[in-house]
A and B are shown apart, each in its own frame.
Chain A
Amino acid sequence: MERLVHTNPGRTILLLVAQVSVLTLICPAQQTQVSKPSVVSSLSELRSDDAGERAEAYEQLRSDPSAIHSPKVQTALLDLLDREEHVIESTLRGSHEQVGVSDKYGEGYGEYVAELADTVNSFADWNDPHQACILVHESYNPDSRFAAEIASHWKTAIPCLVKMYGSDVGLTRGQAAPVLVRALTYSRDGLDPATLQAVRGIIVRALHDPHEAVRGNTVEALGSFGGEDMIPTLKAVAETDPSPEVQGHSIRKSASQAIAAIQKRGGGQ
């Protein structure tokens, strides 16, 4: 009898082979604790003297959809925007317009205020003169979408812009005058004669304002939105504006370009 011995050696099955790259790292993480203040504490921090804390509190509130719909929060943010506008203007005033908030606090401050203004604009009532004036006083470019929105709310905005033009800060007047030019395009048939006269007077005065920004911005606004009735005044600016030409740029040249633009449009204020 043949003895059968059938031995199968142990079979090893490789179930998994993992190639592991072990990472070599440079430096460990550093942590910063994230605070999650309540709405109440955020509202309190909106009144902080520290601009960074105010901005952080605003971010906290903005990120809370339920908070942002609260009338109490909305009132606080409107008040905050009002106060930040005063910070911006007083910073300019205190430095004879040589130092702005972006120099003093950093450009992030301007970003914060601009975002705050957009937030406030999302719920503000433009028919309320107080709220409208806070929005009008925000810092913005006179050729911006926001300036266009201000102009479109001319009924409540024009009184604010007229008051704003009375500021002793040139850059504040330099925002108000060009937006008044723009507002006239919306209010053509609705403005009472006295107010219309007052606005036109401001625009003409702005073209001879001692501050270059006021003259330059107003000339540009007239180039975009002005009527033929402004051409004689612009001609005078093109001939007599005192600012020198710098690297090929001057208010006189801008005035000539504005006249050409108005003529091309065929007037229409």
Chain B
Amino acid sequence: VEIILGAELSTYCSLPGGCATTATETSSSGSSGASSLANLITNADQGVLLSFQAVEGSQSQTTNVYCYAPGCPNEIPWELTSHTGGSNPGVINSYLATISSGGGVSLATLNLPGQQGPIQPVLQRADTSYIGTASTSSGNLMMAFTPGNILWTVPNDAPKIATADGGIIGTSGTTYDSNGKASGQTATSIQSWTGSESGIAYQYGSVDQVALTPPVIYTVPPFWSFAGANQSGSNTSALCHDDRDKLITEYPKYNAGYLPICFASEFVPASNAQPTFHFTFAELNTSDIHFSPPDVPDWAILRAVLLSGLENTRANYGGQAITINSAYRSPLVQNAVSPLFPHDRHIHGDAADMATSSSQMIWNSLHNAAITAGACVEPEAQSTVNHVHADWRSGCPAGWRK
């Protein structure tokens, strides 16, 4: 869809002057057009919202008098002998254009007092309203709006995440309810998703995988829940347009506490049958593959720390084969296995349960091998001798790590 915003029309005409040696040219113009670059955000899966400002009613007029006959003052043909002009700057309006996927456009104005520049939409909530920012003569605002209506404004913050209850987490770390009322404060600022693990923001493995405690129930695609389109703020689509989208959608549905990013390298397809030397995709995704019916069996989140951790565990185990009872589990499968605790490490793709043949000495040996490989290992008093649970999260409880 090509969108053309605004146009400037100028016409020139010349009229012969009142004497034989002069002509008067009058030039007038009026313009109506976008005064700055527009801001774009998807409108769920229905199209886009375009925010822009336009100058309207701008006019100017000039009159030039030329001498074109012999006898002009300097005897120069078409010599300009006089020039008069004036202009009207017009008014600036802020527009929100809702453009459907079929190309239909619905235009609404939305002006804030003292507004400077167009509204910048940043997030879309699940009720289809938008959260954005605007600059005004009295300062910067975070605002909730629909095309044509301002729902609320909050000074001096900017939106970062839209949560499923209609609330917002600001870049300041302040949480807001659906009406823009401050409802709390996250322990740390979440300006950067790449921050180190501290306080309330946990970072799992690679830099772009973050969860908050307590778990934030994100809205999911098609709604634009993260500033910058996804958790990494890379302004790339949060969608994959394949089965990974189904997997991603399960995370907020089952209160998993974080949302995987589509293009993260941790998403491993079944076509990568051997993601690491001694462990196959089928082993590492066995829980989803053998679920009834199989749940997204052709994709799994398998973090690099899990793959290297398992290889190192195997090496520490004397190079002996290790049987994986369960590694990655989709949130749906996890919820079926453990409805009371739907967000353990298996859904993060950094955990594996290793078979022990119910042997105490195998339990101890695998435990030692995994601990030496940097794993967090669940105490036997919780797992029993039947399996060793190891995971490679970036921080683990003091009782789980050597």
Contacts and interface: CB of A to CB of B under 8 A. Distances in A.
A interacts with B: yes
Residues of B in contact with A, size category: 35 or more
A22 B221 CA distance: 13
6 contacts: A31-B164, A62-B214, A109-B341, A143-B368, A145-B401, A171-B384
B270 to A, nearest CB: 19
A103 B337 CA distance: 9
The 3 closest A-B pairs by CB, nearest first: A106-B338, A108-B341, A140-B399
B398 A140 contact: yes
Contacts of B342: 108
Interface in A99-114: 99-103, 105-114
B99 interface: yes
A63 B184 CA distance: 10
B165 A103 contact: no
A254 interface: yes
Contacts of B351: 107
B47 A141 contact: no
A150 to B, nearest CB: 9
A3 B399 contact: no
Interface string B24-43: 01000000011001101010
A264 B164 CA distance: 59
B52 to A, nearest CB: 7
Interface in B181-225: 183-184, 186-187, 200, 213-217, 219-223
A147 B399 contact: yes
B179 interface: no
A125 interface: no
Which one of B2, B38, B101, B384 has the highest number of Cβ atoms from chain A below 10 Å of its Cβ? Answer: B384
Given A144-B399, A171-B381, A247-B320, 11 more contacts: A7-B11, A25-B222, A26-B245, A30-B253, A32-B252, A34-B163, A106-B340, A107-B346, A117-B397, A139-B382, A212-B360
B344 A111 contact: yes
A100 to B, nearest CB: 4
Contact of A15 (B6, B341, B345, B379): B6
Interface stretch (A52-60, A152-160, A189-197, A198-206): A52-60
B217 A250 contact: no
A206 to B, nearest CB: 14
Interface size class of A (residues with CB under 8 A): 35 or more
Contacts of A172: 381
B298 interface: no
Interface in A70-117: 88-89, 92, 97-103, 105-115, 117
Nearest to B38: A16
Contacts of A36: 183-184
B340 A217 contact: no
B360 A32 contact: no
A107 B397 contact: no
B316 to A, nearest CB: 13
B202 to A, nearest CB: 11
B398 A108 contact: no
A34 B3 contact: no
A108 B380 contact: no
B119 to A, nearest CB: 16
Contacts, number: 306
Interface of B: 1-14, 16, 20, 23, 25, 33-34, 37-38, 40, 42, 44-45, 47-48, 50, 52, 66, 68-69, 99, 101, 126, 163-165, 167, 183-184, 186-187, 200, 213-217, 219-223, 237, 239, 241, 245-246, 249, 252-253, 255, 318, 320, 334, 337-346, 351, 357, 359-365, 367-368, 371, 377-386, 389, 396-402
Contacts of B40: 18, 20
Nearest to A9: B11
Contact of A108 (B8, B52, B241, B338): B338
Contact of B397 (A30, A111, A174, A245): A111
Interface in A164-222: 171-172, 174-175, 212-213, 216-217, 220
Nearest to B343: A108
A103 B384 contact: yes
A52 B341 contact: yes
Could you say which of A25, A101, A113, A118 has the most chain B C-beta atoms within 10 Å of its C-beta? A25
Contacts of B164: 29, 31-34
A171 B386 CA distance: 13
Nearest to B240: A26
B401 A6 contact: no
A143 B220 CA distance: 42
Given A8-B11, A118-B398, A98 B340 contact: no
Contacts of B371: 141, 143
Contact of A216 (B13, B213, B360, B398): B360
Which of A23, A59, A64, A248 neighbours the largest number of chain B CB atoms within 10 Å of its CB? A23
A88 B378 CA distance: 13
A8 B12 contact: yes
B341 A31 contact: no
Most A CB atoms within 10 A — which of B221, B360, B377?
B360
Contacts of A41: none
A20 B8 CA distance: 24
B379 A34 contact: no
